[in-house]
Chain A
Amino acid sequence: MELSSTQIGAITVVAPKGRIDHAQAPLFQQAMQSHVAACTQEGSPLLLDFSGVDYISSVGLRSLMLIARSVGAQKGKVAIAALQPTVREVFEISRFHLVLKVHDTVDAGVAALGTAA
């Protein structure tokens, strides 16, 4: 799983690429592990930049759910930004914004996470 991460201020922006489907989801989850572990109350908030993700399956949603739950458990903050239309559609159908805060752009996400801190 291709995964690039950058630091914008206190916020870690992680950008996966490609499809998060049945085969890729476990790899995505694995690649996210260290970032998730670092996303604690005192640690850096996590923003998932999904501009590079063109498909997500239900198994991919499960991975996002697990990330959200882990971060929630350690009182960290996580959000997702810049969804492509196909992914946005999946989010809308599954009401995933109720699980994970969705922002239109990375900048918006960074700003939101920054002010909340």
Chain B
Amino acid sequence: MRRALAYLRRLFQAGDGRPMATALLIGLVVVAQFPERTPFKVARLELFDQYQSVFPRARDSAPVVIVDIDEASLKEIGQWPWPRDRTAELIRVIGRMNPAAIGVDIYMPEPDQTSPAKMAARLEKGQEALRRALMALPDHDRVLADVIRETPTVLGAAGFDNETLTTSRALRATPVRVNGGSDADALSHVRRYPFVLASLPELQAAARGQGLLSVDLQGAVVRRIPLVLGVGDALLPSLAIEMLRIATGSPAAEVDMGPLGVNHVRVADLAVNTQSDAEVWLHFGKADPARYVSAAAVLAGKVPADTIQNKLVLIGLSGFGLVDNRLTPLREQVPGVEIQAQLLESLFDNDLLLRPRWMGWLETALLVAGGAFLIWAVPALRPRLAIFLAIILYGVLFGAGFATFKFAGLLLDAAGAFASLNIVLGSLLGSAFIEADRQRRVAEAELHREREAAAQTAGELAAARRIQLGTLPDPAKAFPGETRFTVAALLEPARDVGGDLYDFFMLDAQRLFFVVGDVSGKGVPASLFMAVTKALAKSVALRGAAGASAIVTATNEEIARENPEMLFVTMAAGVLDVDTGALELCIAGHDAPRILRASSPLELADGEGGPPLCMLDGFDYQALGLQLQPGDTVCLVTDGVTEAMNGELSPYGAQRLDRVLASAAARSGAAGTITAVREDVRRFVAGAEPSDDLTLLAIQWHGAR
């Protein structure tokens, strides 16, 4: 399962999803070549119905009248079926008003049970007089046949696929002539029934013509109606065609055959373009009561003659419970007779729909073009733009469908193309999604790796910081039991590791060496240089260099020897004789040490000094000699103190430092000095990020005790 999914994902991922989408498109093009089997057939028919709903057929001329055996007629005349002399009377009245043709949408396969002879047969014995009287009356079916013979009447019949008691194998009708092909050729294309339900042979013989009323439903909806059908080996007209034939006095309806089936159905000078099976797509108009007159009104003589005169008259049923209503594409329930009326109107106004064979090719071409466009566009553009373009494409497609319907009466299947293109689009977007998902995973993995690396670096830096701070001596533990002086120190790197340093140790029993330094630059390079400097200074000092100036001068030479990065370091170093209070200070480009005298104000111990170490090779640094009194404190700082910035980027400054060193708190011993300065700097920067390392070293001499 997992492997199958992975395989599918690879299929969709390959080539931005284009190969997959192309394969789908090819498959869909193949499917589109079988319009009756495609899964999109329902959508196609639904769209065709929508075309009709948006642009229903206008009832231009009204060549058809339905004489409707409606509820009112049943109330007036009585239950259906009527005695056939009543039907005969109805046809006679209509016939008197000179219709163009009368189509009877009623099947009469059995003899009328109400004919006088039938009634006589049912009489009891001893009613001979009545029997004779009845037998003298004309037979209803004969009466009807006589009327039919005198009027331009066309009887309706229905094709059946299965034999029943009332069906037969032949219909007495005028065969349709075939042009450009054989009858067998035509029969092989049209809807063909083996059996037919027709009226009594007597009635058939009397009628001018007969036509078929059969209509196949698509779903529950009537969309296509055959104009010519087959019954057995006979090619027969539909009722509507037959009525037009009778109305025009033509000898026969005709079909024109083409290589792919029926091209046209002709009656007189009317030639109707049909589908290859001689069916037409009916363009429906809205159901309209104006098409109907009540049979009762006709029988009562209440219908003016010009309602019927020269009209195609259909006699049919609409009475409740008598007929199954049919659903039109406009989603209206209408009796079957209305569909025949609408077909006649459409034929008369030449307002039929067509779905020519080349329409399928056009749709295929549209599908290929649209699909190719999507396959090009979607991977090339941002998804939002691609979807926007697809919507425009669909708009054009459906717009073309409606326009083709409206202006040419052609049925373009935009729905099939839409559904197919959506599948292609879905595949492409799926591929894009899979790719986006992959990239997201890659990005997440990358982020994870970066975090791990950062964590590792941070861990290493933290370790480096511990090591660096660990190399600094702890003032509290450095001189156990020492009473002559006190040392306090503080070093706060701005980053994990810093470039500041301090150190102090005894050169011998009475000389204390101390140093504060600041390497130019920050971070790891500065911290390494700091470690080197501190170690060198210590090694030089312990080697026995005599005095501060000698130590600094020697250290400068040592460091300058191996300094590829051209870093430099400022330094203030001192040697204090802790027995006598004699102090030597040597300054290498560093802030001057401050001497906090118990007896006098603050004193800057500047002296001549020299430039930072590594600036000038072989420079001879000079020291400054001082004498401390018991209680005096020497304070050394780096520029992390004087240049500590607050939020407004103004520096702490030497003046502020001097002021706090003059305060009582700063004069309360070495530790007090450090704390006072640190607190004052902290107050000044007020939480601003430190930009430089901060180092403080204070040494208070208590005198020789």
Contact = CB atoms under 8 A, between A and B. Distances in A.
Given A22-B522, A98-B616, A93 B591 contact: yes
A58 B639 contact: yes
Interface in A49-83: 57-59, 61-62, 65-66, 69
B425 interface: no
A90 to B, nearest CB: 9
Given A62-B567, A66-B566, A95 B520 contact: no
Most chain B Cβ neighbours within 10 Å, of A57, A59, A93: A93
B619 interface: yes
A66 B590 CA distance: 19
7 contacts: A58-B570, A61-B568, A62-B567, A69-B566, A93-B589, A93-B590, A99-B611
B592 A93 contact: yes
B518 A58 contact: yes
A96 B611 CA distance: 6
Given A62-B520, A98-B615, 6 more contacts: A58-B570, A61-B568, A94-B589, A95-B588, A96-B611, A98-B611
A99 B570 CA distance: 14
Contacts of B609: 95
Nearest to B621: A95
Contacts of A99: 611, 615-616
Name the prevailing secondary structure of the B interface residues: loop
Contact of A58 (B520, B587, B619): B520
Contacts of B592: 93
B630 interface: no
A73 to B, nearest CB: 12
A35 to B, nearest CB: 19
B622 to A, nearest CB: 11
B612 interface: yes
Contacts of B610: 95, 98
Interface residues of A, number: 15
8 A-B pairs closest in CB distance: A94-B589, A58-B520, A95-B611, A98-B611, A62-B520, A99-B615, A95-B589, A99-B611
A58 B521 contact: yes
Interface string B576-616: 00000000000111111000000000000000011110011
Contacts, number: 53
A99 B520 CA distance: 16
Contacts of A58: 518, 520-521, 568, 570, 639
A10 B610 CA distance: 32
Given A94-B570, A95-B611, A99-B611, A62 B521 contact: yes
Contacts of B587: 95
Contacts of B615: 65, 96, 98-99
| Residue from B587, B591, B615 with most neighbouring chain A CB atoms (10 Å) | B615
B611 A62 contact: no
A94 B619 CA distance: 14
B521 A96 contact: no
A66 B520 CA distance: 13
Contacts of B591: 93
Contacts of A93: 570, 589-592
B201 to A, nearest CB: 113
Contact of B521 (A59, A69, A94, A98): A59
Contacts of A96: 589, 611, 615
Interface in B472-530: 518, 520-522
Contacts of B691: 22
Contacts of B522: 22
Which of B518, B566, B589 has most chain A Cβ within 10 Å?
A: B589
A37 B522 CA distance: 28
A65 B592 CA distance: 21
B374 to A, nearest CB: 51
Contacts of B588: 95
A93 B654 CA distance: 11
Nearest to A89: B654
Interface centre among A22, A58, A61, A69 (most CB of B within 10 A): A58
Contacts of A59: 520-521
B43 to A, nearest CB: 66
Contacts of B619: 98
Interface in B607-643: 609-612, 615-616, 619, 639, 643
A65 B589 contact: no
A50 B518 CA distance: 24
A95 B588 CA distance: 8
A62 B568 contact: yes
A66 B567 CA distance: 10
Interface string B226-244: 0000000000000000000
Contacts of A61: 520, 568, 612
Contacts of B521: 22, 58-59, 62
Nearest to B522: A22
A57 B612 CA distance: 13
B234 to A, nearest CB: 102
A94 B566 contact: no
A14 B373 CA distance: 62
B605 to A, nearest CB: 13
A65 B589 CA distance: 13
Interface in A81-117: 93-96, 98-99
A61 B615 CA distance: 10
Nearest to A64: B615
Nearest to A22: B522
B590 A65 contact: no
A94 B611 CA distance: 5
Nearest to B587: A95
A57 B615 CA distance: 15
A68 to B, nearest CB: 9
Interface in A18-67: 22, 57-59, 61-62, 65-66
Nearest to B565: A62
Contacts of A98: 610-611, 615-616, 619
Contacts of A95: 587-589, 609-612
Interface in B327-368: none
B687 to A, nearest CB: 21
A31 to B, nearest CB: 18
Nearest to B609: A95
